[in-house]
Amino acid sequence: MNFFSVMFVACVLLAAGPVLAADGASLYAENCASCHGPDAKAATPVAAAMKVPAVAGHDAADVAASVKTNPKHTVPAGKLSDEDLQAIGAYLEAL
């Protein structure tokens, strides 16, 4: 493999991170923000009433596992793919 091929592959891999986070931001806004708040800090009246935890800064893998196993997340877990959950997790981890 020549130098330019290696550089091309590296650029593609590095560019995937921001795209994943951008998708995660829109997926979060559509599926999670109504309970966890727009900034993922659960600082809303709805979050307080439902005792919803803040999720900003959480580990991406933990977010996906929590959504899949928490009975309160049955609806979003049923419509989000593993890739969607990974994107949301990456977004939250970056906050």
The CATH number of residue 18's host domain is: 1.10.760.10
Query: Tell me: the pLDDT tens digits for 19-61?
Result: 455 699 999 999 999 999 999 999 999 899 999 999 999 999 9
Q: Report how far residue 63's alpha carbon sits from residue 23's, in angstroms, rounded to the nearest whole number.
A: 15
Domain of residue 58 covers: 3-94
pTM (two decimals): 0.75
Answer positive or negative: Cα dihedral of 46, 50, 55, 56: positive
Query: Helices then strands (H, E): number in the chain?
Result: 6, 0
**First-to-last CA distance in the chain?**
37
Query: Tell me: the pLDDT tens digits for 57-93?
Result: 999 999 999 999 999 999 988 999 999 999 999 999 9
Q: Please count the structural domains in the chain.
A: 1
Going by C-alpha positions, the residue among 84, 92, 18, 20 that lies closest to residue 57 is 92
